[in-house]
Structure 1
Amino acid sequence: MSEEMKQDPGFGSSLALLDALGIGPVWVRRELAVEEIAAEQVQHQAAPALEAAAPDPAITSATPPPVPVNVVAPVARSAPAASPASPQAPAMPRRAAPVEEEGGPPSWLDEMDFAAAMEPVLIPEGDEDEEVPAVDPVIARIKTMDFPQLQQQVAGCRRCGLCEGRKNTVFGVGDEKARWLFIGEGPGRNEDQQGEPFVGPAGKLLDNMLLAMGVKRGANAYIANIVKCRPTDDNGRDRPPSPQEVASCLPYLQRQIELIQPTVLVALGKTAALSLLGLDPATPVSRLRGSVHRYQDLPLVVTYHPAYLLRTLNDKSKAWADLCLALSTYQAQAN
């Protein structure tokens, strides 16, 4: 609003008439205190004209009081007509809008609770009683060990109950940079006594299988087991390791695989295959044969354990088919 309009003699009477009729200005700009004082002076000068131009009291009694200068009247907006049967919500108290200053909230928030609008949203946290699984410090150290450190750690391992009945731990044997890694179940009686995997009749059969592939024990081949100690039953006979025993010992084999970085893995028997692939214990070896599986991006071929082949001679031809699959996989990886 300019100063010329304010000095117009008819401005005061027009403003008073509009206020008396309840249709005063729908928007009054809130500036500094100097403009508010000037507005009050204009209203004081227009008081006589307002009294002279006042309409009938019966009309003015039905009209709302004039809007104060320091309160912003909301702009009239069209709203859908309410149903006569629907109750009308009580009017909420108006809150004076904050003065618009540099860096403050904009004037379009004068109809909002600015403090509530800026209140941070609280994100619910998890259950305080929820337990976070702890990291096994032994496994963390295993992941950083080299071959001599790892072998020393296995020799003194007591992570499961198999350590109580062992004579020797069976770490593994062969070329530490081998391209072939053969993995069996666990040590038997002969292995427990000598501390080396696959000795005795089953070991001789494995050596013959390697020679048929053009591979020799200790040369470009490494032989290990899922567990490093001999599992036995109450009668002292060999048995498959339990899931708990496998879980306790598997980090050693995993570290061996990381250090060797073989080209192809060959799982000898059900326990080795299921432990490496993380499959259900009821999965038969016959379902896993004939396909190339993956263990941490390394190809893995499953075949029968040499001890099983000594008892089931008819399956030796199937084992040879598995080894041929491993050979073709190795050649594909090498090329």
Structure 2
Amino acid sequence: MSRSAVFLDEMGVGPLWRLRQGAVPEAVDVVVAPVEVDVAVAAPVAETAEAVIEVAAELVAAVVVEAAAEVQAEAPVAVAATPVPAAASDDTAWFDDAPPPPPARQLSDTDIAALDWEGLTAAVAKCARCDLCKTRKGVVMGRGDRQGDWLILASSPSRLEEREGRALPGEQGKLLDNMLKAIEVDAGSDVYVTHLLKCRPFDEAGQERLPTEAESAACRPYFDRELALLQPRTIVTLGSMAAAGINPGEKPVRGTVRQLGNASVVATFHPEQLLQDETGKAKARAWADLCLAKSTHGD
């Protein structure tokens, strides 16, 4: 038996059990049995006992330090977590190289002639039958009673109408309503308002201009279909361009009644002209036109 073991056995300290490789260390309680020394022992014996105690204390301290070092050496080393790279976003580069979707198929005149109201509205919204589709900010479809006996017809939308997406909005619309009310026509239940062209023609300066023959011809099937679906009794044209455009090649004359199919056609001033009339002469003539239209229409 080694000297250290003899000292530990004399002190009542049990054998030191070492941890196996990889085992979780538990708290090691080192119990040192108290050594009773008889004060009556001779001095040489007392000195020997004190020396034994000092050596035992040194051995216990050395064993504890060694055990702690072994535990620390065997403890798993914390490994810094390697940041997981974020999932790469889907590569959409292919989208830039994808061919554009094919343009919407443009309807023929025969196709347009077979549309109902909903189909007609959808066809006008995506129309590309002329170059106005490249510059327009929006289309302006007709509004009002689709079973009305009265059709109010202007030539083409203005900037305001294009922005509002509505035929004759604002002050123009209010004046038109008052004009119809004056001849006892309910603008809210018996009147449909539309244009010959559904897009605004304008020049490079952004000012309204007359539509070209190609633009008028391209848009005419839409108006013809509106007319066939509505089947009005009386048509009131607003302004000289609408009066001339409704029957191409025919010179309109104010104060007369023309025919377009089964409908009577009467020409008058556009509300915008009446709003700018400071003399009142245009308003007086417009009143005469409305009275003519009312008498032609009947009750």
Which residue among 265, 282, 286 is the counterpart of 1:315? 282
The alignment covers a number of residue pairs equal to: 192
Q: What's the CA shift string for 1:302-321, capped at 9, x where partnerless?
A: 11111222223421100110
Match of 1:39 in 2: none
Which residue among 257, 260, 267 is the counterpart of 1:302? 267
Q: Compute the displacement of 1:213 (Å).
A: 2.0
Q: Distance in 2 between matches of 1:164 and 1:274?
A: 26
Structure 1 residue 325 corresponds to structure 2 residue 292: yes
Which residue among 154, 160, 185 is the counterpart of 2:124? 154
Query: Which entry has the higher C-alpha Rg, 1 or 2?
Result: 2
Mapping 1:1-335, distance limit 5 Å: 138-279=108-249, 283=251, 288-312=253-277, 313-331=280-298
Q: Distance in 1 between matches of 2:115 and 2:167?
A: 22
Instruction: Please state whether the residue corresponding to 2:210 is helix, strand or coil.
Output: coil
C-alpha contact (below 8 Å) 2:233/2:262 kept by paired residues? no
Moved over 6 A (4+): none
C-alpha contact (below 8 Å) 2:129/2:219 kept by paired residues? yes
Q: Distance in 1 between matches of 2:273 and 2:110?
A: 36
Q: What's the CA shift string for 1:148-198, capped at 9, x where partnerless?
A: 000000000011111122222111100000010000011111110111100
C-alpha contact (below 8 Å) 1:268/1:303 kept by paired residues? yes
Instruction: Please state whether the residue corresponding to 1:277 is helix, strand or coil.
Output: coil
C-alpha contact (below 8 Å) 2:259/2:265 kept by paired residues? yes
Q: What's the CA shift string for 1:213-237, capped at 9, x where partnerless?
A: 2223331100000100111111101
Q: Distance in 2 between matches of 1:186 and 1:160?
A: 14
Instruction: Please state whether the residue corresponding to 2:169 is helix, strand or coil.
Output: coil
Q: Distance in 2 between matches of 1:201 and 1:177?
A: 25
TM-score with structure 2 setting the length: 0.61
Which stretches in structure 1 are left out of the alignment for 5+ residues?
1-135
CA gap 1:319/1:256 in 2 versus in 1, 3 angstroms: same
C-alpha contact (below 8 Å) 2:155/2:245 kept by paired residues? no
Amino acid at match of 1:315: A
CA gap 1:308/1:243 in 2 versus in 1, 3 angstroms: farther
Q: Compute the displacement of 1:269 (Å).
A: 1.2
Q: Compute the displacement of 1:289 (Å).
A: 0.9
Amino acid at match of 1:291: T
Q: Compute the displacement of 1:137 (Å).
A: 5.8
Q: Distance in 1 between matches of 2:209 and 2:171?
A: 17
TM-score with structure 1 setting the length: 0.55
Q: Compute the displacement of 1:323 (Å).
A: 0.3
Q: Distance in 2 between matches of 1:236 and 1:321?
A: 35
Q: Distance in 2 between matches of 1:247 and 1:311?
A: 31
Q: Distance in 2 between matches of 1:161 and 1:200?
A: 28
Q: Which has the higher contact order (CA 8 A, sep 6+)?
A: 2
Q: Distance in 2 between matches of 1:324 and 1:209?
A: 10
Which stretches in structure 2 are left out of the alignment for 5+ residues?
1-105
